[in-house]
Amino acid sequence: MRRKLTVFFCAWLVCMASTMTPAHAQTLQAGEPDPDTVPLLATYSPTELVLIGALYPSSMLLITLGGHIFSQPIPSMSAPLPGSFDYRISEGFHGDLTSGKPLFLGIPDQAAYALAALPMAYYAGSSVYRLITGSNFFEFQGTSVHHSTLAFAEAYGWTAFLTTVAKFMVGRPRPYVALDRPAFAWNSEEENLSFFSGHASLSFAAATFLFLDISDGAHARMGDEFGTFSRFLIGTALPFTSFYGLAALISVSRIYDQKHYFSDVLIGAMAGTLTASLVYALRFDSRGVPHRRRILFEKATTPASASALMMTPTLVSDGQSVVPGWGAMLQW
């Protein structure tokens, strides 16, 4: 199993590198005309566009219906041992054992789906509106709406793919199975898909991308009339507490509802945060302006007036004899 996990993570890193590495090579330089406008194909290659277009819907299908499509894995990761930190949290933090009533009537659990659907609807809707009208639906939106739509789909799609593969490769009985709490039972086809939490990974992926996108955009657009505290409050504190607070509540509800252990939620949150942060950093700079991808194997040209260092063959004397050697000449 360790070998399988090693192969999986290596394949995941190779896939992410192959699709995203060209995009981070070059940022916009100061003095370029209209620096906030970057053509879509300057950031994404046609191959990347096709891959993301296939990745997002297929990953959503797998994360939603994977339990119906694939057979349950034989658990290779056991439940926490009695007395362990993980075990004590699941044993003591739960709802009514008779009714299995979820936390806050199941609203946090459903909020995970809203945190996925609403941002995608916002980005995609804004992108379609700009494509049709040539202008933004909201005044505060920049010129890179299409880039944000693709980047969100990319971050969410990779997170869903990683989560689904890990669930079916590892296999771990859920708390309500290991602790024999049938009132919290949910889907018999997903009883061994505890590691790691898809609600946590996807919620934190969405929260991370939204926070970075909104925060960078807000800081870039706020003028001098905003003081330091106002910029921090509007551009950092409010989006951070809002999105990460919601993601944390969703994750806590999964422990309370006996669907995941604390370690499942923690690893899921880390996976989602890391994946979304990586995608955003590779696609945008600190102002929220899209990176331009490097044109590989570009033929370099040197102007005649440019400086150059040339090595020429010559004869070198050491005081006793003359031997062939090399001389350096700097052309300025």
137-171 tens-digit pLDDT: 887 787 789 999 999 999 999 999 999 999 999 99
pLDDT recorded at residue 309: 53
Range of the domain at 41: 2-283
319 belongs to a structural domain: no
Tell me the mean pLDDT in the region 301-305: 44
203 belongs to a structural domain: yes
209-265 tens-digit pLDDT: 999 999 998 888 887 788 889 989 999 999 999 999 999 999 999 999 999 999 999
Bridge partners (DSSP) of residue 202 are none
pLDDT recorded at residue 313: 58
Going by C-beta distance under 8 Å and a sequence separation of 6 or more, which residues neighbour residue 322?
Answer: 315, 316
pLDDT recorded at residue 29: 41
14-54 tens-digit pLDDT: 444 444 333 333 333 434 434 457 899 999 999 999 999 99
What CATH number should be reported for the domain holding residue 93?
A: 1.20.144
Residue 43 · residue 291 · CB < 8 Å: yes
238 belongs to a structural domain: yes
In this prediction, residue 187 has a pLDDT band, given cuts at 50, 70 and 90, of: confident
In this prediction, residue 312 has a pLDDT band, given cuts at 50, 70 and 90, of: low
210 belongs to a structural domain: yes
289 belongs to a structural domain: no
Tell me the mean pLDDT in the region 67-84: 92
Whole-angstrom Cα distance, residue 273 to residue 288?
18
Q: Which long-range contacts (CB under 8 A, 24 or more apart) does 88-96 make?
A: 89/255, 89/261, 89/262, 90/175, 90/179, 90/255, 90/258, 90/261, 90/262, 91/179, 93/255, 93/256, 94/181, 94/184, 94/256, 94/257, 94/258, 95/184, 95/256, 95/257, 95/258, 96/183
What is each CA distance from 47 to 14, 33, 160, 261, 327, in whole angstroms?
Answer: 15, 28, 20, 39, 47
The proportion of the chain whose per-residue pLDDT surpasses 70, expressed as a percent, equals 77
pLDDT recorded at residue 324: 59
- Convert 276-302 to b/e letters by CB count within 10 Å (16 or more is b): bbbbbebbbeeebbbbbbeeeeeeeee
Going by C-beta distance under 8 Å and a sequence separation of 6 or more, which residues neighbour residue 310?
Answer: 328, 329, 330, 331
Whole-angstrom Cα distance, residue 179 to residue 90?
9
Q: Number of folded domains in the chain?
A: 1
276-286 tens-digit pLDDT: 999 999 999 98
Terminal C-alpha separation, the chain? 61
Q: Which two tokens stand for residue 258?
A: 């006996």
313 belongs to a structural domain: no
190-204 tens-digit pLDDT: 999 999 999 999 999
**Can you give the pTM of this predicted structure?**
0.79
Residue 259 · residue 184 · CB < 8 Å: yes
Tell me the mean pLDDT in the region 92-103: 94
* Mean confidence (pLDDT) of the chain: 83
Tell me the mean pLDDT in the region 112-133: 94
pLDDT for 307 beyond 90:
no
pLDDT for 289 beyond 70:
yes
pLDDT recorded at residue 328: 55
95 belongs to a structural domain: yes
Task: Write the burial class of residue 183 (CB in 10 Å: 0-12 exposed, 13-18 middle, 19+ buried).
Answer: middle
311 belongs to a structural domain: no
Q: Pick 129 or 303 by higher pLDDT.
A: 129
For the chain, what's the residue count? 332
Q: For tokens 């980047």, what's the residue?
A: 151
